[in-house]
Chains A and B, each alone.
Chain A
Amino acid sequence: MTAISIRGLVKTYGATRAVDGLDLDIETGEVFALLGPNGAGKSTTVEILEGFRDRDAGEVSVLGADPARADRLWRNRIGIVLQSSSGLDLLTPREILTSTAKTYAAPRAVDDVVAAVGLEEKADSRIAGLSGGQRRRLDVGLGIIGRPELVFLDEPTTGFDPQARRDFWGLIRGLAAEGTTILLTTHYLDEAEQLADRVGVIAAGRLLALDTPANLGGRASEEATVTWLDEASGRHTEKTSTPTELVTRLAEQYHGEVPELVVSRPTLEDTYLRLIAPHVGQGSEPIAEEVPA
């Protein structure tokens, strides 16, 4: 089953092709991370899928419907986690969750959502007094209160402290375990690696790579880097496709422990930076429409 299907999507702003012939399928129940530098067309693509922007060309289907002609029934099945806004400052989390729940056909219980996003202690305090992380969790609560089949998460953990991010990931895994399809955009590669079943990298409005986090860009078969410190000749670095063999040889040479031994494979971040390198600095300046409000 396909939750989201994109064929030949094009969106231009003046002379800039923000999205330039994008093809992508996202399966039902999948957690998909969309990665890319600022101005790559991520936010534009997501906003088209959410029904907030018109497209210039291409076919888009989200839960079987064209988001450009979205109706209430379609919105009832979608959850959008938007960037925090100050417009809620005068209300409490419970008040806005309760009111938002009333617009959905089969919402989750407000208390359940408050607990899921860990806002029990702040549920009846003015939102103006919430911390950045608490507000973001409220945004997620508002995105899932309607029991959506598909959730859009746009840079969900920007500004979180490390513990808050871990807690947040737990929340997202819980949603995924219930079968919710999740489309995530993020600048954090570790976040994508932790959460996503598949990642797509876009730059200049095109899809550069599409794979599981472990295999992206041929990452699994890339050479490993082995470094160690020799007392006489200093630090050594060797690239090899057979690191185990090298380490065994070194162990014999040093009679046991190899001094300061490190064996590393390219991280997702290394792979990502290599993929987007040709597209950064040329024609990928952030476009006005993607500057966060």
Chain B
Amino acid sequence: MNALAIGLDRTLVELKMYSREKEAVFFGFLFPVLMLALFSMIFGDGFTEGNAAEDGVTAARFFLPGMAAAGVMLTSFQTMAMSVATERDDGTLKRLRATPMPPMSYFLGKVGLVVVTSLAQFALLLLVARLAFGVELPTDPGRWLTFAWVFVLGVAGGTVLGIAYSSMASSARAIGALVIAPTLVLQFISGVYFAFADLPDWLKQVASVFPLKWIAQGMRSVFFPEQWQRAEMAGSWEHGRTALVLVAWLVLGLLLCARTFRWTKRGTT
């Protein structure tokens, strides 16, 4: 079989394992949906009058872009960093390396897993937002085009950065803390849980270095009313800069992967 066919087979194996891991399904897959439901119920009353109400922004619509952005990061970066570190630690990578499987097939399998899970997660998120909370979804194809490239760049970058980040951990046990703490901080400072505009300026500058802020901003441009872009840092959606930052992180992630990826644990070559 060629690398592509084996990669497809790897995707199916990865999906089987993912779906059988209850913790992953609950914390990674359902987390954004649960948070959206929770926030919509808790903060629902704050959106019944004023600007938000006039522009038709309910609590669910307000939090939807942030949850979509968080979902992209969880299913790509977090899943990858944790699973690759675990597989390196428990010998799964070494086992794969012992077969004639082309290395590319392993990565294709991971990409396949992330694409399927993140698309399914996003579909569920939209479904809940629309059916349970009555959020008006955009009908303009231009907005969905924006969604498509933000989503693809976000997921691709998260995947390669997650694989590269997995090498930071000396063991599978260490990777949990190494991943959860930074991603949680990043979610708080990138406008996932709070309005980004409410953050102090210096924190906005810090967040702007990382991709999550740009993914969240891109998602806001998909789901928020057009005039809300005045509340952004630059007073606009900044699509050009968003694409630039996300591509830069993707390239950096690829370079780091190529330089740091190991099939065996540290101290074994």
Task: Give me the interface of A with B, judged by CB distance under 8 Å.
Answer: 47, 50, 52-54, 72-73, 75-76, 78, 80, 82-83, 85-88, 90-91, 95-96, 99-100, 102-105, 126, 142, 146, 288-289, 293
15 inter-chain pairs at a CB distance below 8 angstroms, sorted by A residue, are: A47-B268, A52-B97, A72-B102, A75-B99, A82-B91, A82-B94, A90-B16, A90-B17, A90-B21, A95-B13, A99-B13, A102-B5, A102-B9, A103-B105, A289-B268
Contacting B87 at CB < 8 Å: which of A50, A87, A103?
A87
A105 vs B95: C-alpha distance when bound (angstroms): 18
Contact B98 A50 (CB under 8 A): yes
Given A54-B269, A82-B98, A99-B13; 18 other pairs, CB 8 A cutoff: A52-B97, A53-B269, A73-B100, A75-B98, A80-B98, A82-B91, A82-B95, A86-B90, A90-B20, A103-B99, A103-B100, A103-B101, A104-B100, A105-B100, A146-B99, A146-B100, A293-B91, A293-B265
Residues of B within 8 A of A146 (CB): 99-100
Judge if B208 is at the interface, Cβ distance under 8 Å: no
Q: A50-B98, A100-B99 are in contact. Are A91 and B16 (CB under 8 A)?
A: yes
Write out, one digit per residue, whether chain B residues 217-231 have a CB within 8 A of any chain A CB (1) or not (0).
Answer: 000000000000000
From residue B67, how far is it (CB to closest CB) to chain A in Å?
A: 27
Q: A103-B100, A103-B101, A289-B268 are in contact. Are A91 and B90 (CB under 8 A)?
A: no
Among B20, B92, B95, B98, the most chain A Cβ lie within 10 Å of the Cβ of B98
Residues of A within 8 A of B101 (CB): 103
Contact B91 A85 (CB under 8 A): yes
Contact A289 B95 (CB under 8 A): no
A232 vs B259: C-alpha distance when bound (angstroms): 80
Contact B13 A76 (CB under 8 A): no
The tally of CB-CB contacts under 8 A between chains A and B is 73
Contact A52 B100 (CB under 8 A): no
From residue A92, how far is it (CB to closest CB) to chain B in Å?
A: 9
Judge if B1 is at the interface, Cβ distance under 8 Å: yes
Contacting A289 at CB < 8 Å: which of B5, B98, B267?
B267
Residues of B within 8 A of A80 (CB): 98
Contact B92 A87 (CB under 8 A): yes
Residues of A within 8 A of B268 (CB): 47, 52-53, 289
Number of B interface residues, CB 8 Å?
Answer: 29
Contact B10 A99 (CB under 8 A): yes
Write out, one digit per residue, whether chain B residues 247-269 have a CB within 8 A of any chain A CB (1) or not (0).
Answer: 00000000000000000110111
Q: Which residue of A lies closest to B1 (CB)?
A: A102
Judge if B86 is at the interface, Cβ distance under 8 Å: yes
Judge if B6 is at the interface, Cβ distance under 8 Å: yes
Contact B264 A91 (CB under 8 A): no
A86 vs B6: C-alpha distance when bound (angstroms): 22
From residue B127, how far is it (CB to closest CB) to chain A in Å?
A: 27
Residues of B within 8 A of A126 (CB): 20
Contacting A87 at CB < 8 Å: which of B1, B90, B99?
B90
Contact A142 B20 (CB under 8 A): no
Write out, one digit per residue, whether chain B residues 1-29 have a CB within 8 A of any chain A CB (1) or not (0).
Answer: 10001100110010011001100000000
Contact B16 A87 (CB under 8 A): no
A13 vs B20: C-alpha distance when bound (angstroms): 41
Of residues 93 to 136 in B, which have CB atoms within 8 Å of A's CB atoms? 94-95, 97-102, 105
Contact A85 B269 (CB under 8 A): no
A47 vs B102: C-alpha distance when bound (angstroms): 20
A85 vs B9: C-alpha distance when bound (angstroms): 21
From residue B14, how far is it (CB to closest CB) to chain A in Å?
A: 10
A199 vs B117: C-alpha distance when bound (angstroms): 51
Q: Which residue of A lies closest to B101 (CB)?
A: A103
Contacting B267 at CB < 8 Å: which of A83, A88, A142, A288?
A288
Residues of B within 8 A of A54 (CB): 269
A72 vs B86: C-alpha distance when bound (angstroms): 25
A67 vs B101: C-alpha distance when bound (angstroms): 16
Among A54, A82, A142, the most chain B Cβ lie within 10 Å of the Cβ of A82
Residues of A within 8 A of B91 (CB): 82-83, 85, 87, 293
From residue A104, how far is it (CB to closest CB) to chain B in Å?
A: 6
Residues of B within 8 A of A293 (CB): 91, 265
